[in-house]
């Protein structure tokens, strides 16, 4: 999406939801709310999955993605190494 289109969309969202609207902060609020629901329903695995999915979406804005590398040694042992990109 071009910078011009991004600015247009953000301006439209602010017109609809108020000048203080920030899509990243709204995403964080929604993730936090889903976490509260999941914490109140610890036996509901779908609530846990929903909260984790939203936190994963948030992580892309705050944390570098991880890349795993699988290796099998000559002795047959299997190793997984995790690296930040």
Q: What is the pLDDT of residues 3-41, one digit of tens each?
A: 899 999 999 999 999 999 999 999 999 999 999 999 999
The structural domain count of the chain equals 1
Q: How far is CA 18 from CA 1, 21, 23, 49, 76, in A?
A: 23, 6, 12, 31, 59
Do the Cβ atoms of 79 and 70 come closer than 8 Å?
A: yes
The tokens describing 31, both together, are: 């993730």
Q: Using alpha carbons only, how large is the chain's radius of gyration in Å?
A: 19
Query: Which domain does 58 fall in, by range?
Result: 3-84
pTM of structure: 0.66
């Amino acid at each position: 999406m071009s910078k011009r289109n991004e600015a247009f969309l953000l301006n439209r969202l602010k017109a609809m939801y108020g000048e203080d609207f920030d899509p990243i902060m709204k995403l964080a609020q929604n993730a936090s709310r889903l976490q509260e629901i999941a914490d109140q329903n610890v036996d509901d695995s779908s609530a846990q999955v929903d909260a984790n999915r939203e936190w994963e979406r948030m992580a892309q804005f705050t944390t570098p993605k991880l890349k795993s590398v699988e290796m099998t040694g000559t002795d047959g042992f299997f190793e997984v190494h995790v690296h930040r990109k």
